Structure 1
Amino acid sequence: MERPYILHMFTPGPRMSPFDINMAADAGYQVIVPYTDCDADSVASLTQDTIFSRSPKGLLRTGIFIGGRDALEAADLLKRAKASMFKPFQVSLMADPSGAYTTAAAMVACVEAALRKHHKAELKGQRVVIFGGTGPVGRIAGVIAAQAGAQVALSSRSSINAAEEAARKTGERFGVELKGLSGTDGTAMRDSIANADVLLACAAAGVQVVSGETLASAKQLKVVADVNAVPPQGIAGVDAMDNAKPLAGTSAVGIGALAIGNVKYQTQQRMLVQMHDAEAPVVLSFAEAFATARAFIAEKAA
């Protein structure tokens, strides 16, 4: 009898995302089992239970998905799961906490494509300001952009201390340089975007972080992207459906939540299928998500 495809889904939280469960089923996994309240030690133990229960051939039909809500914790759990395995007892691993890795990857890949098409520019050297920069999507978008050579600042509406702490911890964890900026009031916002080339809005749904008046102070903007699909717009003038549409009153183009969301969906689906179909174990994190998002956008443009 042919062994079924099994996906074990670990989360530090009290429940696994139904979105991720649906995506896993659509990718071809036949048995999907969520495990909640997982810490590093339990992930190590569960990983070893996973690898020792099947032959190496059966392990090719076995995967582990790591969820949760904390982008840094998910990276640590992925690292712990990988360290708990050894040849030939290995399975494929993937992390995507609250969709943060695939959403951030899709957002930055869309921005990169818009920079190339509309401004003949690359991410390298661009000044990127991220609103909602202390959240999971903002942090990982910052890391991806910094790894591509951009100068990245994380902005927080709560305090400059929160922004600087998030920038320091995230930068140290992933080996990149990030800066913290204050977004506590209108003056701070205008100062932070005055010289920005790219704005990324990763704040909570239904919250406008950049008004039209504030946006007018950014004189050299090239691309603006917003993952908020719930009114009001996270950045004034950027509609959820916009896909590199000229942004009124600026020289920038705007990318909305649904345009980014389509790339995010395709990225996560392709990564789950890659894990399902792999002929050798793979480890998939935000770097692989960015490569997958880039590839999807390139295919659409061809």
Structure 2
Amino acid sequence: AAAAHLDLGAARALVLASTGPVGRRVVQLLAGRGAEVRAASRSRQRAAEVCQSVAARLPSARLSAHASDSAEELQQATDGVDVIVAAGAAGVELMTAKVWESCPGLKVAIDLNAVPPAGLSGIEPTDRATGRHGVSCYGAIGVGGVKMKIHKAAIRRLFESNDQVLDAEEILHIGQSLQRSP
């Protein structure tokens, strides 16, 4: 979703709840596309572990670990970001609308949580490039259509041969090929 609005290779992204399975993959996928990624967690140490893990796979990745447990820490983590992705557990608010709406230069906000309350308050699950305060917002259902297309394409690939392993990088390539096809 973010790639539709900006060049990820020049983007600065903040991934909230980066230590969970979804957050880790988001950090890796954004870093793989060249974004400078700030991995955030309530524990800076756990965020640093995510950065180390991703850097082991992507040595040229531009990564930094941030704590996000207080308003002050969130303010520091959001400074200068173009993209914010909330990848937290269902029903956990990670950032108030007041915080993300006040980020100068923020272009895209994505909340991958469809269960109320939103991970990024003020973003609806059905938002799909919905403009809010000059930011293109996506909710979990708004990105879900693309997710289902990728899922179907991946399943088709698995039926083509039984020796394939589709890791996060390969699934990203499937998604990119779907974007290029008419």
TM-score if structure 1 supplies the norm length? 0.56
Q: Kindly state the Cα deviation for residue 129 of structure 1 after the two structures are TM-superposed.
A: 0.3
**1:289 matched to 2:174:** no
CA contact (8 A) 2:112 2:140 kept: yes
**1:112 matched to 2:3:** yes
1:186-244 per-residue CA deviation (whole Å, 9 max, x = no partner) reads: 11101211211000000111011110221233111011111100011111221111111
Q: How many angstroms apart in 1 are the aligned matches of 2:115 and 2:84? A: 18
Report the equivalent of 1:259: 142
Report the equivalent of 2:54: 170
Unaligned ranges ≥5, structure 2? none
Q: How many angstroms apart in 2 are the aligned matches of 1:261 and 1:208? A: 20
CA contact (8 A) 1:168 1:179 kept: no
Q: Kindly state the Cα deviation for residue 146 of structure 1 after the two structures are TM-superposed.
A: 1.0
Q: Kindly state the Cα deviation for residue 142 of structure 1 after the two structures are TM-superposed.
A: 1.1
Q: Which amino acid aligns with 2:140?
A: A
Q: Choose from 208, 214, 236 the match for 2:121.
A: 236
Give SS of 2:9's match. Answer: coil
Give SS of 1:289's match. Answer: helix
Larger radius of gyration: 1
Q: How many angstroms apart in 1 are the aligned matches of 2:165 and 2:46? A: 31
Give SS of 1:145's match. Answer: helix
Report the equivalent of 2:36: 151
Report the equivalent of 2:10: 125
CA contact (8 A) 1:226 1:234 kept: yes
CA contact (8 A) 2:35 2:62 kept: no
Q: Identity, % of aligned pairs? A: 27
The answer to which of 182-191 and 260-269 deviates more is: 260-269
Q: Choose from 130, 154, 159 the match for 1:276.
A: 159
CA contact (8 A) 1:263 1:297 kept: no
Q: How many angstroms apart in 1 are the aligned matches of 2:178 and 2:116? A: 28
CA contact (8 A) 2:80 2:105 kept: yes
CA contact (8 A) 1:194 1:217 kept: no
Q: Kindly state the Cα deviation for residue 281 of structure 1 after the two structures are TM-superposed.
A: 4.2
Report the equivalent of 1:37: none
Q: Kindly state the Cα deviation for residue 262 of structure 1 after the two structures are TM-superposed.
A: 2.1
- What's the C-alpha RMSD, in Å, of the aligned pairs? 1.7
Give SS of 1:214's match. Answer: helix
Q: How many angstroms apart in 2 are the aligned matches of 1:142 and 1:223? A: 15
